[in-house]
Homo-oligomer: A and B are copies of this chain.
Amino acid sequence: MNTIDARLEKQGIILPQPAAPVANYVPFVISGNIVSISGQIPMGPDGVAFNGKVGLDITEDDAKAAARLCGLNIIAQVRAACAGDLERVVRIVKLGGFVNCIDGYAGQPGIINAASDLMVEVFGDKGRHSRSAVGTNALPLNVPVEIDALVEIRL
C-alpha cells in the first residue's frame, strides 16, 4: 500500500465514490499536467449531507463539516483522475471556496480552512495550496459550501 493510501487508512478517512457527471459538464478535465476539478458540494453516500446558509440556518461547525466533505469529494475526483494512484499528485495548486452566508458574514476563511486542513492532512506539504474564500447569497441545492480545485499531477 502506498504512502497516501496508508495515511488515509491510518487517519480513518474514507473517500466517497466520485460523483458521475449528470450533464454536459464532467467532474474533472486533465489539460497537460493540470486537473481542473468541478465545484464539489457536500454530497455524501445518501445525497446532499448539509443544507443551509451560515448565519441563518446552519452552524459554523456544520458548515466546516460540509467544507471538509467538499474536500473529500475533491480528493475522490483527483483519485479518479489519477486512475486510482494518489501518489501521482504533485501539488494541490488552488482551492476556490464559496460559502453560502448572510449579508456581512465575515468568517469564510475559517469555514474553508476545514478543506484546506484536509489537504495537508492527506498530502502533507504537497497539499499546501493557494486559495480564494468568498461569500455568496445562494448555492446549488442550498448547500452551505462549494469548492473547486486545480491540481498538478504526474502523467
Which A residues form the contact surface with B (CB < 8 A)?
Answer: 21, 23-29, 31-34, 36-39, 53, 90-96, 98-109, 113, 116-117, 119-120, 127-142, 146, 148, 150, 152
In angstroms, Cα B132 to Cα A147, docked, is: 8
Question: In the complex, what's the smallest C-beta–C-beta distance from A92 to chain B, in angstroms?
Answer: 8
Pair B38/A101 contact, Cβ less than 8 Å: no
8 contacts between A and B (CB under 8 A): A24-B116, A32-B152, A36-B150, A101-B137, A135-B137, A136-B137, A137-B137, A137-B138
Q: Which residues of chain B are near A90, meaning CB under 8 Å?
A: 31
Chain B, Cβ-Cβ closest to A98: B134
Question: In the complex, what's the smallest C-beta–C-beta distance from A110 to chain B, in angstroms?
Answer: 9
Pair B103/A25 contact, Cβ less than 8 Å: no
